[in-house]
Amino acid sequence: AQKVTQAQTEISVVEKEDVTLDCVYETRDTTYYLFWYKQPPSGELVFLIRRNSFDEQNEISGRYSWNFQKSTSSFNFTITASQVVDSAVYFCALRDGGSNYKLTFGKGTLLTVNP
């Protein structure tokens, strides 16, 4: 069975601080896909990144970076120099590589960036 754990329910930081959101996953598949989505107060889930299990290269996109470590089944997300506009709920999600197209989401982490 698939499972995604986001142990941090809420995080509060001051603007310009760096913040890391943790994600730990469980799956029996050797091929799988990991995602991060952002959900601002408007409610729409905004796609941020997709990672394949066979590609462990870390990725950086502007102020965002992702650290994928298969050895610890983790896919952590770091925001550098946080901004107020980063305030949102962030979800980590998992999809198996087989016929299971369903996304399994964690419970999300509420990030509040204070000015």
Partner 1 sequence: GAGVSQSPRYKVAKRGQDVALRCDPISGHVSLFWYQQALGQGPEFLTYFQNEAQLDKSGLPSDRFFAERPEGSVSTLKIQRTQQEDSAVYLCASSLVRLFYTDTQYFGPGTRLTVL
Residues near partner 1 (CB under 8 A) are: 4, 31, 33, 35, 37, 42-47, 50, 91, 93, 97-99, 101-108
- Which residue lies nearer to partner 1 by CB, 20 or 31? 31
Taking the complex as a whole, how short is the minimal distance between the CB of residue 15 and partner 1, in angstroms? 25
Taking the complex as a whole, how short is the minimal distance between the CB of residue 52 and partner 1, in angstroms? 9
Is residue 109 a contact partner of residue 88, using CB atoms and an 8 Å limit?
no
- Which residue lies nearer to partner 1 by CB, 21 or 106? 106
Taking the complex as a whole, how short is the minimal distance between the CB of residue 53 and partner 1, in angstroms? 11
The C-alpha atoms of residue 9 and residue 21 are separated, in whole angstroms, by 10
- Which residue lies nearer to partner 1 by CB, 61 or 101? 101
- Which residue lies nearer to partner 1 by CB, 50 or 63? 50
What lies within 8 Å, CB to CB, of 21 at 6+ separation is: 6, 8, 11, 76, 77, 78, 79, 90, 92, 109, 111
A 10 A CB-CB count for 41 gives 8
User: In a 3-state reduction of DSSP, which class is residue 71?
Assistant: helix
